[in-house]
Structure 1
């Protein structure tokens, strides 16, 4: 629970930092490229200190390619691109369709039992997310589509971490290979479109490195540990703390206004997360 919640808080800071990098000349492709590539040396150093082998089986390599370049990089690119069309808070809220999608896909594909408490918690959190969503007449449908699509690909990514051989892989090792694959995918995407801007100001590069370390080095690893201990659907519910963090950081750093409706949404999300935690403790005691 702690790992999943901490990961969500770290990810929640991302929109504010991304908006700052965009104002310095960056874009979604550039930020995704740097965010993945800059984390690799840090992760390699940690793996060397821990004595973890970098060897992969053919099956593991295929899964990393699918989950990393197929789902993870697509999620990040679509979400970052949506920030150009709609407010960061709205984009993050739409992205947070993924806990519901994760639970439904686990139920449909793996026959996971959700239980009344988890369903109720999911309903509370979903209602809270809707309260944070403020669609207006000027809302760009491209941003809505991109942010919503990122929810589906991220749900597939979480399920892949939980239901495949990647579940037992060392988190830093998985993050390191995904960083390399994602950076290579972004480089390939940028070649025909010329969207990759390597010459960013030092401040933008510094913020990109900070984002890389806080997300890939810490948040991704914490999330993988959380999924290993809780399962994908429960870890996704704890990740609902991310939009609350995003709203708070947007208010403090970007001077975005917070309505009573948004505050109600945050309260409902917190109630859903707290209910999931209590239900998890009850199951642990019964065992």
Structure 2
């Protein structure tokens, strides 16, 4: 059963990594943009989630406090995280954005230390230094690049911001008590809140451009939502059931690696030596942090 859980969790990471390379394919000539993609990522996932909830006979009842927490989680934690990611994809390679985003365990640790006074062990300090060194490599690469511009730096900042907001998502999920509910139930309400939030934001800013999307953009957006919501999330939940959350979090660090590989295969992104070094440092830092948590 442990082998099955490990394989399923790894397949979940590969699916997430592959799905993230699809987003940028809807930009430009296909008519989409980060705001539209973020809205569709959540809105198109609702039918899939509803089918899963009905099949599993999950009770959708929630309290007033849970409704408030889910709105906060959906808009601030999920919608802004996804929007930052999708915006970063418009400026820099997926193979750079995803590894930087995946430093969120570092920000979770920092958030818990700063706001909840949790202890910071020597192993965690080492993990922070190693992972931050990896992020620094990306910035140094951008600064030394002849083609470097303000858009490159903005992309790097957005990638880091996506990790910070996702860290908020995880901390808020933990401290609010929502983690005790069914993952699919939480994901459904988070998707609803995110869809409403992004629809309002898109209408106000005139960035929700559904009418200009090509059939290819609609198809890719639907596949993106399906892979993230049904395939990857379901595999992850089953994997956690068999091997536990701590071990699953360690295996999930394969996600940024798959993003780098698929970014190269599907989007023609270059795998440079500095990118490889940065990915190794980030991977080592996050892995060290995950192992320290699983041992504590």
**TM-score computed with the length of structure 2 as normaliser:** 0.81
For the 8 Å contact 1:79–1:150, the answer to whether it is kept is yes
2:250–2:290 Cα contact (<8 Å) kept:
no
1:33-112, aligned counterparts within 5 Å?
33-112=39-118
Structure 1 regions of 5+ residues with no counterpart? none
For the Cα contact (< 8 Å) 2:103–2:286, is it kept in 1? Answer: no
1:158, 1:148 → 2: CA distance?
Answer: 16
Residues 169-208 of structure 1: pairs in structure 2 closer than 5 A: 169-199=181-211, 200-208=213-221
Residue among 21, 29, 33 paired with 1:16: 21
Residues 43 and 192, structure 2, Cα contact 8 Å, conserved in 1 = yes
Q: Contact 1:96/1:129 (CA < 8 Å) preserved in 2?
A: no
Q: Out of 125, 135, 138, which is 2:142 matched to?
A: 135
Distance 2:276 2:158 in 1: 25
For residues 212-248 of structure 1, the C-alpha deviation after alignment (integer angstroms, 9 at most, x for no partner) is 122233445637986xx547xx977765433322211
Match of 2:257?
244
Between 194-203 and 102-111, report the one with greater CA deviation: 194-203
Question: What is the alpha-carbon distance in structure 2 between the residues aligned to residue 60 and residue 181 of structure 1?
Answer: 12
Q: Provide the residue aligned with 1:27 in structure 2.
A: 33
Q: What is the aligned partner in structure 2 of residue 258 from structure 1?
A: 271
1:102–1:224 Cα change, 3 Å: farther
Structure 2 CA distance for aligned equivalents of residues 175 and 36 of structure 1: 9
With 58-67 and 241-250 compared, the bigger mean Cα shift is at 241-250
Task: Indicate how the Cα distance of structure 1 residues 89 and 130 shifts in structure 2: closer, same or farther if over 3 A, else same.
Answer: farther
Tell me, yes or no, if the aligned pair for 1:90 and 1:132 is still in contact at 8 Å: yes
Out of 169, 188, 213, the residue aligned to residue 157 of structure 1 is 169
Evaluate the alpha carbon distance shift between residue 4 and residue 102 of structure 1 in structure 2; reply closer, same or farther with a 3 A threshold: farther
* CA distance 1:266–1:193, shift in 2 (3 Å): closer
Whole-Å separation in 2 of the counterparts to 1:108 and 1:29: 32
Contact 2:250 2:287 in 1 (8 A): no
The offset of 1:22, in angstroms, is 1.0
How many residues were matched structurally? Answer: 281
Distance 1:93 1:267, change over 3 A: closer
Shift of 1:275: 4.3
Q: TM-score, normalised by structure 1?
A: 0.83
Which blocks of at least 5 consecutive residues in structure 2 are unaligned?
Answer: none
